[in-house]
Structure 1
């Protein structure tokens, strides 16, 4: 196995859901910026990037989040950074929205004829292929699933440079969104919380080795 492959596997073996960080070691800001850039460059369906990353440095906001986020109780006092990953809701992600038109015309810079075809394909995808318009939650849930692409990429990038992470779903979404909206951080018509990601350096190594099912139970080759 060549060195590049081994380095990638080494990072995945190194990574674990760190429940307590070393409070005396702080992740450099430039390293977090590198990790966020990896997240920004992540792929998404139709290239519409249905996410936003909130880097919470306010100690006051962290204190308000703590009672509604049981999954970060142990990490909050020792983590270097807390990133809240938001997913866009139907208001932005429906085929006719200003956001989608902005993405197609201003970000992707498609000429008018190609932009029209792109929007028609996206409309058909939402209406017919994935039937995302049958329930207001469907588009949001579809966007949430996509946020796990940058989530995974950021965790891997962090592991490759020796930084620990913990992905967090342990929170009351409704109450957390109420806090963020009351603080003027989000507009709940546009965004909902997908997950959170804590960064830091482990206080100690995991107490047991990584466990996974064997390859033959995970992969099936179809010939």
Structure 2
């Protein structure tokens, strides 16, 4: 594929990606495709490589039915999408957190100390540069990382001919309580950031309507 063809392909994928409102419930995602999408999420970039996310596939029908009353934005997906993915994020990522120590020592296979240059640099980055000091602010920071993973997974799905829909239309407080009550997450460390559905659309793609590039891009 030439460079020109590759550019056209990239733009075609961007135009094909569509926030699907109606899915075909009879169509199912091949497991190898699904595993590839999950790997893309796992490989997504995150600030300092601290991967503050967890992906929860909601398969149980009773659990799906239970969230309907407070998940208005997910109803169409619950009715037809093959996969409903909940993306949780840690709300306690800090330079001296046990989770960061675990990542550095057990995953990255490097020595850890809260006084190391890496730890102290992350501390300054969070506390001075981003002005992050509270649990809520750490959750919001982690959520921004999760959206990177979600976007990458949605693009990968589109490449595989799979449709998606990002979902924020639910009551966050009730969803967090639901996940805690059903022991799906430990609320001391986790909160839900966003949901995203995957499947095959049962509706035509509408042409994208966006602002002109000149209105959103500037060279200085």
TM-score w.r.t. length of structure 1: 0.93
Match of 1:14 in 2: 16
**Is contact 2:104–2:111 with CA below 8 Å preserved after alignment?**
no
* SS state at 2:54 partner: strand
**Is contact 2:21–2:165 with CA below 8 Å preserved after alignment?**
yes
Q: Size of the alignment, in residue pairs?
A: 218
* SS state at 2:183 partner: coil
Alignment root-mean-square deviation, CA: 1.6
**Is contact 2:95–2:114 with CA below 8 Å preserved after alignment?**
no
- Residue-by-residue CA offset, 1:65-116 (whole Å, 9 max, x unaligned): 11110001122121100000011112xx021111011112222222458982
TM-score w.r.t. length of structure 2: 0.94
Match of 1:166 in 2: 165
Task: Measure, in 1, the Cα distance between the counterparts of 2:112 and 2:86.
Answer: 35
Mark the runs of 5 or more structure 1 residues left unpaired by the alignment.
none
Over 3 Å counting, the alpha-carbon distance change for 1:81 and 1:117 in structure 2 is same
**Is contact 1:163–1:201 with CA below 8 Å preserved after alignment?**
yes
**Is contact 1:105–1:115 with CA below 8 Å preserved after alignment?**
no
* SS state at 1:46 partner: helix
Match of 1:95 in 2: 95
Match of 1:51 in 2: 53
1:4 matched to 2:6: yes
**Is contact 2:113–2:119 with CA below 8 Å preserved after alignment?**
no
